[in-house]
Structure 1
Amino acid sequence: MIQIAFANKAKSILSQDENVIGLAVAGSWLTNELDEFSDVDLILITKETISDNKDKMIAYAKSIGNFISGFTGEHVGEPRVLICLYDNPLLHVDIKFITLKEFEVRIENPKILFDRDNQLQTVLNNSAAKFPFPDYQWIEDRFWTWVHYTLLKIGRGEYMEAYDFFGFLRMVVFGPLLHLKSGNLPRAVRKVEMDLKQGDLESLINTIPSYNKLALLTSLKHAVELYKQLRNTLFDDKVTVNKIAEQKVMEYFIDIENR
């Protein structure tokens, strides 16, 4: 596959650089789910910090293929990642630039492609990966205010703003919680079409409205019911449910419906 060929070429080139401690790969490679639509998630571990210098990051990226463009990943909360597009073949490659110490903090154990003096494997043997899981109390503390916010936008006629907010709710609340219900890692809405049960997927689809008031309110009602079902299924008694906020917001919901 083109992804494997690219990674092997990168390994051959980068292993010649004395500043490079190792190269690893993450993502769908780890679960044997690579297909023609997969990108490549490379982790480049160096002696010196590279992530504080975009020019150096791009120089490394250019050294391993026919580089077309690249930008850092502040928009996804990871400025150490250079998101790249290569040609011949056309391929999306994310390169994460970290030091050996930073390699200790990870959400999964990557596959090592190159490891100078067994340093990466030593880190893997002496530290643990920790995937970030949603904080149920954090969600409950915010959910009803988010519903109220959406109602305000619908009430004022800001349908586009309300429409876009459903995407936020799917990414932050419904996707992760539905994945957890199915025994998956809470990877937002990644591969929900493949990994969720049909009924759960349909419930998620019901939170996608059309662009009009009735459809927005109907989808918001589905969203509320889905949240309450997931709350009952996943949350334990340590989570404090804000019944007053829920009651007041749902009363306002009825008010907006009747206008």
Structure 2
Amino acid sequence: MTAKRCSRCADFGPYLYLLTCTRTCQRCLARCDEFIPAHMEHAKALIGSLPISLAAEIPSAMSLPGVYTTRKFDLPAKRLYDFQSLWSAGLQHHGSEDALISAIINAPNVECAAAHAAFREKWENQRRGGIRYGKTPTRDPSLFKHTYKDAAMLLQTLPQADCSSITRWQTVVGCPVFDLTLNRVEKGHYCKACEMGKAFPILRCRRYDEETFKLHLRDCGRIKEGFHPEYPYDLAREAGEDVDDERGSSYVFNFLTF
């Protein structure tokens, strides 16, 4: 509660990623893949290959069902796992990334082979008893092949898979910082000049404390009539500097301004 910096950058971190209790800022949360959780249905292939004791240590949480973001994504409740912890546990158990990928790819094949064997055994027993039981189980389990890309999608490593860029918002909450020195709660503030600005690039959703806001004014210049008149927007645009992330800008909570 007293740490106030984002775990990935020096910005003020007003949000808490619940799976690992990690502070993050709006920008890193919206753009860093490490905050994309793995769904249970995608992670079960890897979790099933781990010892129970190791699998039990992977941070997870049951998300709340509801409508997320201004784009109104209606998301159901899901068991979500921290991807980095899941991957690290897999590497620890399997010894290498190649072995880990092989385990993920082969898991559906192993499951299919077991189901195929059970079906064939039941079919044989029914046949010996004079009872016809469905079709002859001739499908070869080896036909159920999965590629590296399939394995990546199973673990949500592809940002476009299954709205995974949205599910990160199911594992984060706004978390004010308690300033021990001033004995007060700091929620952070938005820059009104950036909030009202229409020029590109801007970072409307970036939140500041007193220290980082001073750095912001140093970088973007003073505020006059609600804007940063000295900020070289054209040069910044040509240089491809950071811009307000479209996904992130949809997830603004209550606006606060200086």
Q: State the TM-score, normalized to the length of structure 2.
A: 0.30
Judging by fraction of residues, say which structure has more helix.
1
Judging by fraction of residues, say which structure has more strand.
1
Which structure exhibits the higher relative contact order, with contacts defined as CA atoms closer than 8 Å and separated by 6 or more residues? 2
Q: State the TM-score, normalized to the length of structure 1.
A: 0.30
